[in-house]
């Protein structure tokens, strides 16, 4: 059995920056309540490590960021790497909260692009995932921003003016291009600004370039869109099997037995300790293919 460690993998710079901002906020404000508006990034181990620092999280399926602010009445609120709308910022200010912004710079760039286009009386077709906090924050910037989750959404649109097509930063390169092509059929004069972030792009391209792989293992949280996309990219690129696991505890003998070449990668919000533990175990198994229970998941420190 051969184990291929896919490069690059793991934390992107936006995640590193968000974690550092969270740590600094707690250290510099030792007696002030600090609350994160949503998950700092979509990884339960990173969230738990932040909780160990004393950060409180407010997150509930189906509730928007602006609604979740109702649960924060004092202290500091940290906006996550996914970004928030201007209305969320204004509501935090009106509540007397001190806002700390951990928005990824790539998301900030997307927001600036969308704001400028809408200010110029243009409409934006924003390709994104329904319910994802990044998409929620961007679509809420203006009523001229129209969320496109699939090709069918395009047909529901009426006449639009001066159309810009852009997208969520963590989408699949393949899926995004397919929807862009469909948008162009209806709006052939539209401008295109592909905003898939560099970290997402190069990780997906690394998976696309894999050859003769029997199994792709993606280490990442089930809520992580970029991790899901790595799995789907692998399958779309011809890898016969791909699995998404939270940590080594999800690894089973049925996944890896009779596999000759296994590739391992991870989402951009996945701590390196978790991926390394999976790779180390697989390499041990390759040397001595007698199944033994994987060790406990490594402790994540931030």
Question: Active-site residues: which are they?
Answer: 134
* CA–CA distance, 112 with 108 (Å, rounded to integer): 6
* CA–CA distance, 81 with 70 (Å, rounded to integer): 20
What single-letter DSSP state applies at residue 245? E
Q: Please give the C-alpha separations between residue 255 and each of 212, 217, 261, 297, in angstroms, as whole numbers.
A: 17, 9, 12, 18
Tokens 């970004």 sit at which residue?
Answer: 83
- DSSP 3-state assignment of 124? strand
Burial (CB count <10 Å: 0-12, 13-18, 19+), residue 90: exposed
Q: What angle do CA 188, 189, 191 make, to 5 degrees?
A: 110
Long-range contacts (CB closer than 8 Å, 24 or more residues apart) made by 83-92: 83/107, 83/108, 83/110, 83/111, 83/133, 83/134, 83/137, 83/138, 84/37, 84/133, 84/137, 85/136, 85/137, 85/138, 85/140, 85/141, 86/140, 86/141, 87/140, 88/37, 88/137, 88/140, 91/66
Strands (E) located in the chain? 2-5, 34-37, 56-58, 76-79, 98-101, 123-127, 145-148, 163-167, 191-192, 215-219, 242-245, 261-266
């Amino acid at each position: 059995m051969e184990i291929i460690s896919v490069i690059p993998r793991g934390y992107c710079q936006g995640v590193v920056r968000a974690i550092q901002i969270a740590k600094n906020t707690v250290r510099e404000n030792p007696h002030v309540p600090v609350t994160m508006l949503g998950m700092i990034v979509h990884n339960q181990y990173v969230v738990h490590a932040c909780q160990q620092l004393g950060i409180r999280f407010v997150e509930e399926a189906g509730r928007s960021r602006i609604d979740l602010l109702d649960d924060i009445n004092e202290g500091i609120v940290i906006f996550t790497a996914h970004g928030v709308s201007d209305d969320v910022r204004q509501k935090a200010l009106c509540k007397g909260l001190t806002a700390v912004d951990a928005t990824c710079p790539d998301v900030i760039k997307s927001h600036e692009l969308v704001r400028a286009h809408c200010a110029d009386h243009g409409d934006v077709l924003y390709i994104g995932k329904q319910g994802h906090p990044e998409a929620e924050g961007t679509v809420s910037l203006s009523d001229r921003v129209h969320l496109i989750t699939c090709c069918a959404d395009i047909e529901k649109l009426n006449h639009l003016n001066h159309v810009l097509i852009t997208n969520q930063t963590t989408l699949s390169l393949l899926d995004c291009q397919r929807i862009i092509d469909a948008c162009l059929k209806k709006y052939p004069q539209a401008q295109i600004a592909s905003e898939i972030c560099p970290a997402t792009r190069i990780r997906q391209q690394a998976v696309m370039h894999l050859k003769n792989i029997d199994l792709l293992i993606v280490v990442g949280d089930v809520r992580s869109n970029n991790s899901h996309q790595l799995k789907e990219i692998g399958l779309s690129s011809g890898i016969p099997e791909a699995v998404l696991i939270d940590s080594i505890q999800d690894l089973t003998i049925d996944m890896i037995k009779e596999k000759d070449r296994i590739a391992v990668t991870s989402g951009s919000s996945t701590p390196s300790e978790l991926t390394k533990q999976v790779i180390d175990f697989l390499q041990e198994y390759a040397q001595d293919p007698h199944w033994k229970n994987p060790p406990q998941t490594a402790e994540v420190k931030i």
